[in-house]
Structure 1
Amino acid sequence: VKVCTVVGFPLGATTSTVKAFETKEAIQNGADEIDMVINVGALKSGDLALVESDIRAVVEASGDKLVKVIIEACLLTDQEKVLACQLAQKAGSDFVKTSTGFSTGGATIADVRLMRETVGPDMG
């Protein structure tokens, strides 16, 4: 059984330094995979550089472990969903995910379709 944990829960508002620390600590304690929540506030305010560097910090801290980026799609416009997926891909993550299950909605067929169209078949 693989162990996965989430960093930056629930809205990704912690700093990149904290997320990287959480990632390293989780791996040291046996995590095989890391789910991270993007900084929703930064994305919505247009600070794309912060979102990308935030994801990259977790990817770098994870070493060879899988990193899955949760975009919390129910809080985003379609344009923001596309941007979030592009940033996750550019920063080197392995997967994109729709939601934490904490907010107002979960996965929808339309969101999954949009995310797949954005990242293509080679990214989970």
Structure 2
Amino acid sequence: MTSTIARRRPLLAVLVFAIALLMATSACGASSAAAPGASAVKEIAVTIAGRKVTPPPGRVDVTKGQTVRITVTSDVADVAHVHGFDKAANLQPGTPAKIEFVADQSGLFEVETHGTGLQLCQLLVR
């Protein structure tokens, strides 16, 4: 009987390892699926050069509760502002400025510059 147990010991070790690996893998999937509102950061990059906004201003869909990160690079000093969330960043020529916040309210929100009055985009939060 001892010889039978000794022969099966490597098989048992592999089985225990496989079960542990399966449990760890399924736990990772469950935690990310179970986190409500867990979604990737919405990255928006805008460049201003010669009073031209690139990409051209448009609507950007955002999920309510999602983190939004807006990066603005301008050729002139100004202030970029997200209306409704009262978030702003000072723009210095050639230096990327970031505005980051959680979109915790639904609606349509303008993102613009104050000095030059340029619309950068609209955030449609649903």
Larger radius of gyration: 2
* Bigger strand share: 2
* Bigger helix share: 1
Provide the TM-score with structure 1 as the length reference.
Answer: 0.30
